[in-house]
Structure 1
Amino acid sequence: MSRVVTRSINDQTGLRCLDLVQTDAGSHIWLECRRDPEDSHGWRVVFYAAKEFASVAEAWSDARERVAWLDEEMAE
């Protein structure tokens, strides 16, 4: 499955991010990731959309409802 990140939003600490992703089927999903500075693994998925969405706007709306830190980041 081919996926393309269409938007990536980081929190102020740089330790969390949310990626909006378009799948090869043309649907959209989102992934919340985190990284730990002491771990060389890089980003780890900690939460993700429970379904695929027809548009990036729908995926973004769902992510904003479910990922609490997004509202804090977007307010600034």
Structure 2
Amino acid sequence: MKPVVHHSLEDATGDRCVDLIRTGARWAWVECRRDPEDAHGWRRLHPPRGDFADAAAARADAAGQVAWLEA
């Protein structure tokens, strides 16, 4: 099954986000950035992380690793 972004949590500037991704029954997260002067759009900063049972667990893990994201 192809991964699907179910939630995208943006920072206050709109230049960073954390995507919560679902693949089948499992969840992961990835931090992304975009540069206003670049028409490419969002770029992943790393491969998706985690193999969580639900979105809440993925978000909690992301909050512990991404400084701007509040739990």
Give the TM bin, normalised by the shorter chain.
0.7 to 0.9
Matches within 5 A, 1:1-76: 1-23=1-23, 25-47=24-46, 48-49=48-49, 51-71=50-70
Unaligned 5+ runs, structure 2: none
The percentage of counterpart residues that share the same residue type is: 50
Q: TM-score, normalised by structure 2?
A: 0.86
Aligned residues: 70
Could you tell me which runs of 5 or more consecutive residues in structure 1 were left unpaired when the two chains were aligned.
none
TM-score of the superposed pair, with normalisation by structure 1? 0.81
- Once the two structures are TM-superposed, the CA of residue 30 in structure 1 deviates from its matched residue by 0.5
Q: Greater share of strand residues, 1 or 2?
A: 2
- What RMSD in Å do the two structures reach over aligned CA positions? 1.5
In terms of fraction of residues, the more helix-rich structure is 1
**4+ aligned runs moved over 4 Å, structure 1:** none
